[in-house]
């Protein structure tokens, strides 16, 4: 074993992670899905004896590979260290002695000084330890969730509702969403997403991306069947898997009338290689889910083709309403997602980018 990760308990709910490169040459490490990522830290198993691991309550994100920003170079015989406050990312119920370990036993690296493309990274097994740590309960809603653009976000309960009913025949009534306005499209009512800030040119673009995604779906009416497009993104067809795919896709479009998420145009939780993120609400009675678009990257995307703006929104909504990736490493990129479909369909149907690419192709973006 030439890559070693050591976990140790530093103080209160903090864990120190040290990765040592024991190879005779330097390596480049892909940060995603590792403790060295700054945004998504769904990479630990934190357990009380035989119980289920504690729930991850941090964000999920859509990434774009950038040679310098998505990787860390580690020279031969050198180490990198990171301290993580578990309270920001996990829900801990009780004060107790937990065992903390890495959820995945490999990382993606390039050996040596080679030029790097995302496809060039290869998995390498890790040697890692389990650390026993005396941890304290976390608040259901932490400061980290609550701060966006350095503002504290209003509590959902403060939002006024109105009692108007849209004139197109909706099959569902949700008063909360009408407060933000909406429009009829064909026979469907489309409520506008709530966006912060709500008054600039980017707000207008984002609102239209969301509406376009939904309008295309209304026009096309997605039917999941055993065809080449399904196979390309979700692998070999069978009834169990295809009904899971249906569920996720219904989930993505389920919020058209009754929305319980809000969008932020932001730089918060945006590393240089982050396009957008979805942060499930830690308590839906108090707060909506949050979908952030990172303005430095999101608005550079096109409206059509793969990795489009509307497709990115579908990716994020699949985290919130389709339950993609709750316990799997997130896989990104066209080629990687096609490989996933070919080799492990079970995995592909749980990976957000596979839905994004499928929908972009199906809906003709």
**Where along the sequence are the contacts to Zn ion (CB under 5 A)?**
60, 62, 352
CB of 50 to Zn ion, least distance (A): 30
Q: Which is nearer to Zn ion, 118 or 257 (CB)?
A: 118
Q: Which residue is nearest to Zn ion (CB)?
A: 352
Q: What's the min distance (Å) between Cβ of 77 and Zn ion?
A: 35
Of 340 and 352, the one with the shorter C-beta distance to Zn ion is 352
The residue among 62 and 241 lying less far from Zn ion, judged by its C-beta, is 62
- Phi and psi of 138, rounded to 5°? -100, 155
Query: For residues 284 and 156, what is the distance between their CA atoms, to the nearest angstrom?
Result: 9
**Token pair recorded at residue 139:** 């608040």
Q: How far is the CB of 40 from Zn ion (least distance, A)?
A: 8
CA atoms of 225 and 245, how far apart (whole Å): 10
In this complex, which beta carbon is closest to Zn ion, that of residue 177 or of residue 312? 312
- Tell me how far apart the alpha carbons of residues 360 and 80 are, in angstroms, rounded to a whole number: 39
Residue 77 region, left (φ>0) first, then alpha (ψ -120 to 50), else beta?
left
Nearest partner of 89 among 153, 146, 138, judged by Cα = 138
Name the minimum Å distance from CB 330 to Zn ion: 5
With left for phi above 0 and alpha for psi between -120 and 50, is residue 69 left, alpha or beta?
alpha
CB of 277 vs Zn ion, minimal distance in Å: 8
Shortest Cβ distance from residue 85 to Zn ion (Å)?
A: 22
Which one, 277 or 362, has the nearer CB to Zn ion? Answer: 277
Residue 23 CB, nearest approach to Zn ion (Å): 31
- The C-alpha atoms of residue 268 and residue 281 are separated, in whole angstroms, by 16
Whole-angstrom Cα distance, residue 310 to residue 315?
9
Q: Is residue 85 classed exposed, middle or buried when 0-12, 13-18 and 19+ CB atoms within 10 A define those classes? A: middle
For the residues of 159-171, what is the DSSP string, one character each? --------SS--S
Residues 6+ apart with CB under 8 A from 52: none
Toward Zn ion, which CB reaches closer, 62 or 309? 62
Closest distance of CB 318 from Zn ion, Å: 8
Cβ proximity to Zn ion: between 182 and 262 the closer is 262
CA–CA separation, 185 and 178 (whole Å)? 15
Nearer to Zn ion, 98 or 298 (CB): 298
């Amino acid at each position: 074993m030439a890559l070693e990760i050591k976990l140790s308990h530093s103080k209160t709910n903090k864990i120190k992670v040290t990765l040592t490169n024991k190879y005779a040459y330097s390596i480049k490490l892909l940060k995603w899905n590792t403790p060295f990522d700054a945004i998504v830290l769904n990479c630990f198993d934190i357990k009380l004896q035989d119980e289920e691991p504690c729930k991850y309550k941090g964000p999920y994100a859509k990434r774009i590979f950038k040679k310098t920003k998505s990787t860390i170079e580690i020279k031969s015989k050198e180490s990198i260290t990171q301290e993580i406050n578990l309270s920001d990312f996990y829900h801990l119920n009780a004060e107790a002695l937990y065992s903390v370990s890495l959820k995945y036993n490999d990382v993606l690296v390039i050996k040596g000084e080679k030029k790097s493309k995302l496809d060039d990274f290869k998995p390498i097994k890790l040697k890692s330890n389990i650390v026993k740590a005396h941890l304290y309960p976390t608040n259901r809603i932490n400061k980290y969730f609550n701060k966006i653009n350095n503002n504290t976000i209003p509590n959902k309960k403060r939002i006024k509702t109105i009692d108007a009913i849209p004139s197109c025949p909706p099959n569902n009534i949700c008063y909360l969403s009408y407060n933000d306005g909406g429009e009829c499209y064909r026979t469907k009512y489309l409520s506008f997403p709530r966006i912060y800030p709500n008054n600039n040119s980017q707000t207008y673009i984002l609102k239209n991306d969301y509406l376009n995604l939904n309008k295309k779906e209304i026009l096309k009416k997605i039917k999941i069947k055993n065809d080449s497009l399904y196979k390309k993104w979700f692998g070999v067809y069978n009834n169990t898997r295809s009904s899971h795919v249906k569920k996720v896709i219904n989930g993505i479009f389920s919020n058209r009338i009754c929305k319980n998420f809000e969008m932020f145009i932001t730089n918060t939780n945006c590393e240089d290689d982050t396009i957008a993120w979805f942060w499930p609400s830690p308590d839906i009675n108090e707060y909506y889910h949050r979908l952030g678009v990172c303005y430095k990257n999101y608005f550079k995307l096109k409206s059509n083709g793969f990795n489009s703006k509307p497709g990115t929104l579908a990716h994020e909504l699949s985290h919130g309403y389709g339950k993609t990736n709750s316990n799997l490493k997130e896989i990104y990129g066209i080629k990687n997602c096609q490989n996933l479909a070919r080799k492990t369909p079970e995995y592909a149907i749980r990976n957000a980018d596979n839905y994004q690419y499928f929908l972009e192709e199906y809906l003709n973006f």
